[in-house]
Structure formats: C-alpha cells, structure tokens
Structure 1
C-alpha cells in the first residue's frame, strides 16, 4: 500500500470515528441542554419558594399585629365604659380612633401580602408542573444517551482501534499534521483534486476550490509515496475515482490516436 493509499485509509477511518462520536455528542448535548433548563427551573422555584415563605411570614406577622391592636381597642372600650372623667374618656377615645386607623393600615397591608402569597403560590404550582415535565424530558434524554452508547459503543471501539492501527503504519511526523488538519477543517484533512478544464489542464482543490498547480496534480500520479498538499488550505490531496477515470479515459484515447 502506497503512502497516499495509507493516508486515505486513515482519512476514511477518522471520518467513521468522528461520525460515531458525533452521534454520541448530539445525544449528550441534547441531554445537557435539557438538564440545564431543569436546573434553571429548579433555581427559579427555590427563589420563588423563599420569596413565598418570607411573604407568608410577613403576612402572618401583620395578622398578629391586627389582632393585637383589636384586643387593645377592646380593652380601651371596656375602660371607656367605666370612666366618669370626661378628660380621661376623651383621651381613651383618641387612642381608640388612632388604633383604628393603625389597624386599618395593617389590615390593608396584610391583604396585599396575602394576595402576593396567593400569586406566588400560583406561580410555584405552575413552575412545579414545568419541573415535573422537564424531569420527564431529562429522563428520556438520559435513556437516549444510554441507547446511543450501547448502539455505537462496540463499533466505536472497533473503528478507533482500526484507525490507530492505520496511523501506526504512517510516518510519525505526518500524524501531527494530519491531526492539525482534522481540527482545522472539521475532520476533513484530505481533499480530492478536481479537473476543471482538461484542455487547459486546470485543476482545483475539492476542499477550498482554489487552483492547484499542474505539477502537484502530476505528483499525485507519479509519486504515490509522497504526500501532496493544496497550496491554499494545506489539505492532503488525493485522486478520487472521478479524476482517475478522466485520466484513464484520456490515456486510452491518446493510445488509440
């Protein structure tokens, strides 16, 4: 097997490994997104629950204050029924009226707090419903991740082993370049040489579509144990079936003529 054939075989195996990994990554990403949403909902629920508890406590305090004021008013009225001094009676009456105003304000504020408690409780109920629904989605996503791992696990292990074995057959100084090109070009470190115009002998890179000098195309055929790169994107070039058939057909035609 020539070096060009070896690098092409590694390329195909790398694509298979990346494809299998991507299937796992998609399922994992979807699960992570759903889990993140669940976390946000739970955090929102906790915040609302704290606010609900505090508002409820404040409302309860106001109710106690209103009862205390009412008890004080009752006590004062009892005193008013027994006093004989007009001055003392007037003082008690003023205090009763003042307490009535105070009680009214407290009851009004307590009512506002109770309405807020009811509103928060309604939000908590709705939020809890969303959380339960989101938990179902997260559980389903976890099952999907598990299924994907079981589905591709053995195949991924096998393909990875084959890819690593293929990489061992290639000179060690080429592998870092291959890996860098994989990262730069989204798992596409190789590209086919494309014939744009046979008469003018014009060729381009199937990866970046930039022009390839004719001598580089010739080296693909004459130096199979040398790797040729695109001068623009630096991908390793290879001869695909289309270009090979074009070249073979042209060679056969030239022989007949």
Structure 2
C-alpha cells in the first residue's frame, strides 16, 4: 500500500505555492464578491433603463399614430364642410331655376351630396372617437414614462451608493490580490484564472476525508473520489499544484482535514 507520509509543517522560509494560491483564492473571492454587489445594482439599473426606453418608444409611436388620426379626422371635417358649401350653392341655384328638368337634376345632386356628407361625418366621428381613445392611452403611457424615470433615477442613485460603499474596499482588495499574484509563476496564474472562469470564481476545493480507516477522500467541489496518490502529493509536495482529476479544481487542505490529521498523529504518538 502507498505510504502516506503527511507533512503538516509549513515551510519556514516564505509561503509555499499552496499557501500562495490559497491566499490568492481568498482575495479573488473578496474581489468577485464586491464586484458582484456592483453588478447587481448595475444590472437593475440597466433593466430599469431598458424598460424606460421601451415605454418611450411606445409613447413616440402612439403620439405619431394620434397625430395621423387627428389629421385624418380634421381632413374629413373639412371635406364635410366643403360638401355643405356645395349643397348651399346648389340650393341657391335651385331657387332661381325655372326649368323642371334642370331643377330635378340639381335636386338629385343635392341629395347625393347629402348622402356623401353623411358618410363623411360618420367616418369623421369614428376617427374622433379613435383620437379620444389614443389620447387617453397616451396620457396613461406618459404617466408610466414619468414613473419609470423616477425608478431609473433611484437605480442610478443605488449604483452610485454601491460604488461609494465598496469602491475603496474594492480598490484595496484588488491591490492585495494583484500583490498576491506577483510571486506566482505566469503558467500557474493562467491555470488559476482559467479555473476561476470555469467554476465561477471557485477554482479551489478542499480535500475531504470520507473514511479515515479506508483512506478514502473526495473533492469538496465536485464530491467525486480523489485517488490516494493525489492526496499524498497534496500533503508531501506543498510547492506544486494538486488538482482534482474530475473537475480539475486545485485541491487544498482546510482546517477540518488538518485537525483530523493532527488528532490522528497525536493519537499515534500516544
């Protein structure tokens, strides 16, 4: 069976790679957490602004429709007035006509114009009713636009408040994260950053002892079994990265596992 020599002492001269990566991991989580608070506020503001834009577009389209409908209604009213003027002229002409045939012709034209005028007035009435309906919708939509503007303003204030609240802390944590990354090799940082993106800011996972007697361990990230060889490497090679063979997260020894190992070592000495 594989020998399982556990080295729990930290290297006295500087931090081990595992410690450096773990420190970077903690700072990365803090930076991402602060950024997420800003992103939530920014997302809400974006959603509010998008809704305002939609309402304003609807308002513009409805206003254009109202203008067109009003113009059509006005044109119909003018047409009706023109027909009425023509009817009045024909009636005046009829009063001076002595020929029955000519009189009958004028009378037919007057009656035809009356029918036409009636249809025009009916259509004008329909258009005016449509104008009233559109005006009512426009008034209601205008109220929605004004209310949404207030919500957008409040969301903008929330974004600014979040920036003021976490700005200094975010700058401090970001600087510390950058400083923590400096001593780490570029290829190792590349792995770390790739895993950050792959696992939503959780590139590390603790090794978990499932059964001490059978020496069974699993990954605290994906909960899959970790080969004993990798657990041994995790403890015996603190200046190298040990990853989970399943999810590829970088493994580390947390306080729980360390206490379990310390207790077992003390018991064996006793």
User: What is the TM-score with the length of structure 1 in the denominator?
Assistant: 0.98
In the TM superposition, 1:139-178 aligns within 5 A as 139-178=153-192
Structure 1, residues 186-215: CA drift from partner, whole Å, max 9, x if none?
A: 000000001111111111100011110111
Q: Pick one of 79, 85, 99 that aligns with 1:71.
A: 85
Return 5+ residue gaps in structure 2 as ranges.
1-14
Distance 2:120 2:254 in 1: 86
2:16 corresponds to 1:6 = no
Task: Render the CA deviation track for 1:63-114: whole Å, top value 9, x for unaligned.
Answer: 0000110111111111111111100000000000110110011001100100
Which residue number corresponds to residue 132 of structure 2? 118
Secondary structure of 2:221's match? coil
Task: Output one character per residue of 1:30-84: Cα deviation in whole Å (capped at 9) or x when no partner.
Answer: 0000000000000000000000000000000000000110111111111111111
CA distance in 1, matches of 2:259, 2:111: 106
In structure 2, how many angstroms separate the alpha carbons of the residues matched to 1:14 and 1:169? 16
Quote the residue 1:252 is aligned against: 266
**Of 88, 102, 109, which residue of structure 2 is paired with 1:88?**
102
Are 1:179 and 2:193 counterparts?
A: yes
Q: Residue in 1 aligned with 2:12? A: none
In structure 1, C-alpha distance between the alignment counterparts of 2:183 and 2:196, rounded to whole Å: 18
SS at match of 1:101: helix
What TM-score comes out, normalization by structure 2 length? Answer: 0.94
User: 1:129 — aligned with what?
Assistant: 143
Rounded to whole Å, the distance in 1 between the matches of 2:56 and 2:247 is 48
4+ residue segments displaced more than 2 Å: none
User: Of the candidates 225, 231, 247, which is equivalent to residue 245 of structure 2?
Assistant: 231
Structure 1: gaps spanning 5 or more residues: none
The corresponding residue for 2:55 is 41
1:217 corresponds to which residue?
231
Residue 222 of structure 1: CA displacement? 1.2
Deviations along 1:140-192, whole A, 9 cap, x unmatched? 00000001111111111111111011000111110111000000000000000
CA distance in 2, matches of 1:219, 1:84: 124
Superposed CA RMSD in Å reads 0.6
Q: Which residue of the partner structure matches residue 4 of structure 2? A: none
Query: Which residue of the other structure, out of 59, 70, 79, is the alignment partner of 1:56?
Result: 70
Distance 2:231 2:267 in 1: 20
SS in 2 for 1:43: helix
